[in-house]
Amino acid sequence: MEKTFRVEHKRGDTLDSFTFHGNIDALAELCLRELPALVGRPAVTIDFSNAGRINSMGIALLLRCLKAIREEKKAEITLDGLNQMTSMLFKMTGVFLLATQAK
């Protein structure tokens, strides 16, 4: 598993797909701050299957990023590739109030 955070972006006709790699912590700030500007479609999916540990700073940055996507881009967000630990963490910190977990 990569440690350093990076984002892959693919744009489809109706969907912006992002794949997160590495740990999501304070070092992810720049990437997550810039991510909302990349959104140009009404639907966004974020794949966490290659993401590592997400700490409280990472959660705070993620919340800010998701909020910006919803409010500034009016896009619906789906989170994919969540493991049990990440799902628990997102549930307890309010991430699922801003984004839907993929089925």
Partner 1 sequence: MHSNRTILAIFKDYEDAAFWSNLLRDVPGVVRVTAGDNPASILESLRQTGMEATLTIISTKLYPLNSQEIIPIVRKNFPATEFLLVSSSQEAAPPLQPLIKDGVRHLVIDPVGPDKGSQMVRAVRKLMEKSPWKMGDYLFSGASVHEFRISSSEQKEELISAIGGLIPGDSEEAEMLREKGALLADEMLENAMYGAPRDESGGKIFQKGEKRAMLPGERIVFRFGFDGETLAMEVADGWGSLSPETVMEHLEPEQEGGEVAGDWGGRGLFILWRFLDQLHISITPGRQTVVGGHIRLTTTEDPLTTPRGFHISTFN
The residue ranges that bind partner 1 (CB under 8 A) are 3, 25-27, 29, 53-57, 59-61, 63-64, 66-67, 70, 83-85, 88-89, 91-94, 97-98
Nearest-approach distance from CB 12 to partner 1, in angstroms = 26
DSSP codes joined into one string, 8-42: EEEE-SSEEEEEEEEEESGGGHHHHHHHHHH--SS
Nearest-approach distance from CB 13 to partner 1, in angstroms = 28
Q: Give, as one character, the DSSP assignment of residue 99.
A: S
Nearest-approach distance from CB 70 to partner 1, in angstroms = 8
Whichever of 37 and 85 has its CB closer to partner 1, that residue is 85
Residue 16, helix vs strand vs coil: strand
Residue 25 CA to residue 23 CA, distance in Å, equals 6
Whichever of 50 and 93 has its CB closer to partner 1, that residue is 93
Residue 40, helix vs strand vs coil: coil
Whichever of 42 and 94 has its CB closer to partner 1, that residue is 94
- How big is the chain, counted in residues? 103
